[in-house]
Structure 1
Amino acid sequence: MIERMSALETISILAERNAEGAYITPGGIDSHVHLAQANSPTGDGWETGSRSAVAGGTTTVIAFASQKRSDPSLYPVLEEYHGLSRNLSFCDYGFHFILTNPTPEILREELPVLAAKEGITSVKLYMTYEPMQLSDRELLSIMLACRSLGMTTMIHAENSDMIALIIEGLEAHGNTAPYFHAIARPRIAEDEASYRAISLAELVDAPILIVHMSSETAMGHVRNAQTRLLPVHAETCPQYLFLLSEHLKPHSHDDFEGAKHVCSPPLRHDVKDLEALWQGIANGTFTVFSSDHAPSKYDHSGGKKLGLVDGVARFAKIPNGLPGIETRMALLFNQTEACQPPDKARLGLPKFVQLTATNAAKLYGLGGRKGSIAPGYDADLVIWHPAGKGEVNISQGMLHHGVDYTPFEGMHVRNWPRYTILRGELVWNKDQGGVVGKMGYGQYLRRGKGEVIMGKIGGVPRGMQEHERQYWL
C-alpha cells in the first residue's frame, strides 16, 4: 500500500479484498500513556509499548515528557524524551508535558515556543504525589497560560492531605498490605479535588480535562459543570469499568499479588461504582477513554516488589500503574452493539469511535488528520473480525508489552483487531504474522491547538458580575 493513501481509498481496497463484512473503525488514539518513564524503570519503553499499541488497534499514542522539580527549563526535558523515542515507535506519537516546576519563565517564554514549534499543546498537572504536587495558585497560573495558548490542561485530581492522613493512620495500625492502597485513597479524596479543580478552572475561564476518573460523585461534578456549559472534559480507563478492589486482596498462592492492581485513583469497592461510570460513558459525560498505561513489572525487585520491604508488604512503596495499552480497544469494543445483543450493549459504535479516537484527536490538536475516516485524514484504520470470529480470552501470553502480567487476565472479548493500518501500511495482521509493521515507522506528531468539545469559553462564574474579571486579569 502507498504510505499517504487516503483512508477512503484504503477502505475501498480492503473491503474488496479482506474486510469480509467486518466493522472498520478509525485507528485508536490512546492519549494517556506512560512510556520510558524514569520513575518506572521496569515499565515499557517505546519499542515494546508502541508494539503493544498497534497489536491492540491503537495507531497514535500521546505520552508524557516529565519535568522534575529541579528542572529549570523544559527544553532539556523535551530533548531527553525525544532521545528515548526517536526511531523506536511502531505507531505515530506525540508528547504531553508533566509540569512540576512552573516558573514564570517557563509559562511566559517556553510554553509558547514549545507549542508553536514543537506542537506540544497539552500539559498534565498533579494535585497529589509530593514530588509532583502543585498548589492551587500554581494550578491557576498554568491554567491561565494554557488558556491563552489554546493548550489542553489535564489534571490528576485527588486530595493529597486526605490521602497522607489516612496512610499515616493505616501504617500506625499495621495495615500495609496491597489491599489497603484502596482504603488509603477513598472516593471522597477524588470528589473534593475534582470539585476544586473545576472551581479553579471556572474562576479563570480555562478548559480542563480531569484524567482517569473513578468516582460517581466526582463524575457528577463534571456532569453538573457541563450542564452549565463549562469547558470541562473527563477521561476514564478500562480498570475503572471492569475491575474492583477485591483484586487487591491476598491470593491463596501469593499474598502480595494484589500489588498487580495498585493504581491511582484506586480500584473501587462496589459493582455500583462500575455501573455509575458506565452511565457516564452512555450519557456523554466522558470525553475520552484512555488506558493510563503506567506499567511496572510484578516479579522484579525494581518493579511492584519495591513494596516488599524486608519481607513485609508496604502498599505505599508499590509503584502505581497498570498495563493496558493493548487491551483498551477490545475491552470497550466488546461492550458495543457489534459484539452484544442490543439489550446488552452498553454503547453504540459511534460512541465507541468518539471515545477511542475522534474526541482525543480534537481535544489534543490532531483534528483534521487523525481520529476519523474521511477525505484528507490519515489512513489509520482498524478492521475487526467478522461477526462470530475473533473471540479471545485475554492472557499475558498473547500480549506484546514488556510487562510480565495483565490485570485483565482471563477476561473474554468477542472480537480483537484483525488488522491495524497506519497511514496506509498494514502494521498488525492477527492471522498472519502478528506485528508486521517496522519499528521507526511511527512519526512524531506536531499538534495544533486543542478544541473545546464540551461547553464553551466565556462563561461567568457563579456569583460574579459579567465583566468582573477585567479588574484583575
Structure 2
Amino acid sequence: MEFDLIIRNGVIANASDVITGQEVGVKNGKITCIGFGLPASDSTSVIDAEGGFITPGGLDSHVHLQQWNTPTGDTWETGSRSAVCGGTTTVIAFASQNKQHQSVLPVVNDYAALAKDNSSCDYALHLIMTNPTPTIVNEELPFLVKEHGITSVKLYMTYDAMKLRDREILDIMVATRRLGMTTMIHAENHDMIELIIETLEARGQTDPYYHSVARPQLAEAEATYRAIALSEMMDTPILLVHVSSEAAAKHIRDAQTRLLPIYGETCPQYLYLLSERLKGENFEGAKCVCSPPLREKPEDLDHMWTAIANGTFTTFSSDHAASKFNIEGGKRLGLVNGRPFFKKIPNGLPGLETRLPLLYKGVQEGRITINDYVRVACSNPAKLYGLHTKGAIMPGYDADFTIWYPEGKMKPFELTNDMLHHDIDYSPFEGMTFTNWPRWTILRGKVVWERDEGGFVAKRGGAWGEYVKRGSSTLRGSRNVFVNEWRPPI
C-alpha cells in the first residue's frame, strides 16, 4: 500500500490504550494502517514524532463563533485559525435563535453561510433554542436532524433573553429523546441570581468581582439537580455544560451512579482561574467575567480535576465566547458613564487555542493520564455528538492528529496574547508557563499547523475545513431507547 503520510517514532494515545513502536499510515484523508515498518514512496510525507505523543485531533464541542449576540468576538476565519494552532481539528458552534424567531430554519441557514469556506478546521453546528414553538419542536427539529445532521440542542435556565420554563424544557425533551438528539443545558437558578443582583446593586456593589458573588455555587447546584430531575422524568439523556462547582459535579456523579444518562462538561477556566481575577484594577477584572463564574478557592479547582480523572465529566470544552476588551461594544459595555456595572459586562472568555495545552499540563503534572486527556477532549465529544469518524486513532477514522513534543524537547515559554492566533485583545491565561504545545496539527492528513516551521500553514476555506453532518450519540442513550413515545413513570 502506498501512503500519503506516515507518522513515525511517536507514542499513539487513545482513550483506552497507549501504543509504542508502531507507525500511522494515511491515505486520502483517512487512517488506513497502524503497524511496523510502513513503506514510504517518493510521494509520501513522513513526520518523525521523536517520541512525542500522537493524540487524535482535538474536538471542541462548545464554541461560540460569530454569533449575532457577540459582535466583537472571533469570526469563523479567526476562530478556526486559532483552533488548529492549538491542536483542535473540529469545532461545534451554535446557531442561536432569539425569542422573536418563529422558525429556526433561517437561523441555521444564515449561520451555516457564515462558516462555509471560512473555516480552517472541520465544523458542525448545535442549535440554541429560546422560543420552542410547537412547529419548531415537532416539524423543524426532525428536518434539521435528517437533512442537516444537527443532532444537538442547547437550552438555558437563566438569562432573560434565553431562559426557558421547566415545562418548555420538558416539551423539548420529548422531541429530543424521540429524535436521538443530545440535549445540552446551561444550569443556573435565574431567580436566585436576579435577587442577589438587585441586592448588590442597591448596595452599590457593582464592580466586576461581584459577578462571582451574584452567581453562587448554590444557584448552579440547584439548577443542575432540577435539570437532572427533568431528565429522569422524561428518560432523556442530557449534558450539563461548563460545570464549575463541586456541588453540581456531585449531583451529576450521583445520577450516573444511579445509571441515569447524565453527562457533564467542564472548561479550562474552572481548572486554573479563581474569582480573585475579577478584582483587577482599571476594570481589568471584566476580562474574566463568565457564567458560571470563576470560583473562590484552590480546592474548587482541585474538585474539577478530580471529576475529570474519575469520569464524572464526559467532555472538556473551551466555551470560547470571547468579547474584545479595548473596543466599543466589548467588555467595556460594563462601564456606564465611567461606573462599573457587572451585569452589563458580556459573558465569556477566549480559550479555543489554549484549551488543549492547558489540559495537557494536567497530564504533565500527574493530575490526569494521557488517556483521560483523549477521553474528554477527543473521543467522548465525538461519541456524544455523533461524529462517528473522529476522536480516535484507528483505521477508517479521519486522519486528524495533534502531535506533541517529547518531554524536554520544547523550550518553556511564558504565554503572551500576541503569540495566539485569535482576534481577541487578551487571554486570561497570559503569564502562564508552558513546557509543551502542539507541534503539529493535522486535519484529514494535511498539516495545518507546524510550530517549528512557519506555524499556521492552512489556507482559508476550500478543501480545509468541511461541514460535518452528524449522527446520533453513540454513548448510552435512555433506558427505554426503543420506546418512541414517552410514558409517565409508574
Q: TM-score range by the shorter chain?
A: over 0.9
> What's 2:345 paired with?
318
Q: Deviations over 1:307-364 (max 9, x none)?
A: 000000010000000000000000011111xx34xxxx01111111011000000000
Q: Where do residues 336-375 of structure 1 align in structure 2 (5 Å cutoff)? A: 336=363, 339-340=364-365, 345-367=366-388, 369-375=389-395
Kindly report structure 1 stretches of 4+ aligned residues shifted beyond 4 Å. Answer: 8-16
> What's 1:445 paired with?
468
Q: Where do residues 186-201 of structure 1 align in structure 2 (5 Å cutoff)? A: 186-201=216-231
Moved more, 389-398 or 372-381: 389-398
**Structure 2: how far apart are the matches of 1:17 and 1:83?**
35
For the residue of structure 2 that corresponds to 1:419, the secondary structure is: strand
**Structure 2: how far apart are the matches of 1:444 and 1:457?**
31
Asked if the contact 1:207/1:457 (under 8 Å) is kept, the reply is: no
> What's 2:433 paired with?
412
Q: Deviations over 1:174-197 (max 9, x none)?
A: 000000000010000000000000
Determine whether 1:335 maps to 2:356.
Answer: no
Q: Flag structure 2 segments of 5+ consecutive residues without an equivalent.
A: 6-26
Q: CA deviation at 1:271?
A: 0.8
> What's 1:458 paired with?
480
Q: Flag structure 1 segments of 5+ consecutive residues without an equivalent.
A: 460-467
Asked if the contact 2:174/2:486 (under 8 Å) is kept, the reply is: no
**Structure 1: how far apart are the matches of 2:422 and 2:85?**
9
Q: Where do residues 79-228 of structure 1 align in structure 2 (5 Å cutoff)? A: 79-228=109-258
Give, as a single letter, the amino acid of the residue that structure 2 aligns with 1:311.
G
Q: CA deviation at 1:8?
A: 5.1
Determine whether 1:298 maps to 2:319.
Answer: no
**Structure 2: how far apart are the matches of 1:195 and 1:219?**
10
Q: CA deviation at 1:452?
A: 2.8
Asked if the contact 1:364/1:447 (under 8 Å) is kept, the reply is: yes
> What's 1:31 paired with?
61
> What's 1:384 paired with?
404
**Structure 1: how far apart are the matches of 2:304 and 2:216?**
16
**Structure 2: how far apart are the matches of 1:6 and 1:76?**
34
Asked if the contact 2:33/2:395 (under 8 Å) is kept, the reply is: no
Determine whether 1:7 maps to 2:28.
Answer: no
Structure 2 CA distance for partners of 1:183 and 1:15, relative to 1, 3 Å: farther
Determine whether 1:45 maps to 2:66.
Answer: no
> What's 1:464 paired with?
none
Of residues 414, 438, 455 in structure 2, which corresponds to 1:393? 414
**Structure 2: how far apart are the matches of 1:134 and 1:331?**
33
Of residues 294, 298, 301 in structure 2, which corresponds to 1:274? 301
Give, as a single letter, the amino acid of the residue that structure 1 aligns with 2:279.
K
**Structure 1: how far apart are the matches of 2:205 and 2:31?**
54
Structure 2 CA distance for partners of 1:424 and 1:189, relative to 1, 3 Å: same
Q: Deviations over 1:90-110 (max 9, x none)?
A: 000000000001111111111
> What's 1:465 paired with?
none
Give, as a single letter, the amino acid of the residue that structure 2 aligns with 1:449.
S
**Structure 2: how far apart are the matches of 1:164 and 1:470?**
35
Q: Deviations over 1:287-312 (max 9, x none)?
A: 00000000000111210000000000
Q: CA deviation at 1:7?
A: 2.6
Give, as a single letter, the amino acid of the residue that structure 2 aligns with 1:108.
N
**Structure 1: how far apart are the matches of 2:138 and 2:47?**
53
Give, as a single letter, the amino acid of the residue that structure 2 aligns with 1:399.
L
Asked if the contact 1:8/1:373 (under 8 Å) is kept, the reply is: no
For the residue of structure 2 that corresponds to 1:219, the secondary structure is: helix
For the residue of structure 2 that corresponds to 1:198, the secondary structure is: helix
Give, as a single letter, the amino acid of the residue that structure 2 aligns with 1:451.
T
Structure 2 CA distance for partners of 1:60 and 1:370, relative to 1, 3 Å: same
Q: CA deviation at 1:15?
A: 10
Q: CA deviation at 1:406?
A: 0.2
Asked if the contact 1:244/1:268 (under 8 Å) is kept, the reply is: yes
Give, as a single letter, the amino acid of the residue that structure 2 aligns with 1:419.
W
Q: CA deviation at 1:5?
A: 3.5
Q: How many residues align?
A: 454
For the residue of structure 2 that corresponds to 1:427, the secondary structure is: strand
Give, as a single letter, the amino acid of the residue that structure 1 aligns with 2:248.
A
Give, as a single letter, the amino acid of the residue that structure 1 aligns with 2:187.
A
**Structure 2: how far apart are the matches of 1:452 and 1:444?**
22
**Structure 2: how far apart are the matches of 1:327 and 1:274?**
17
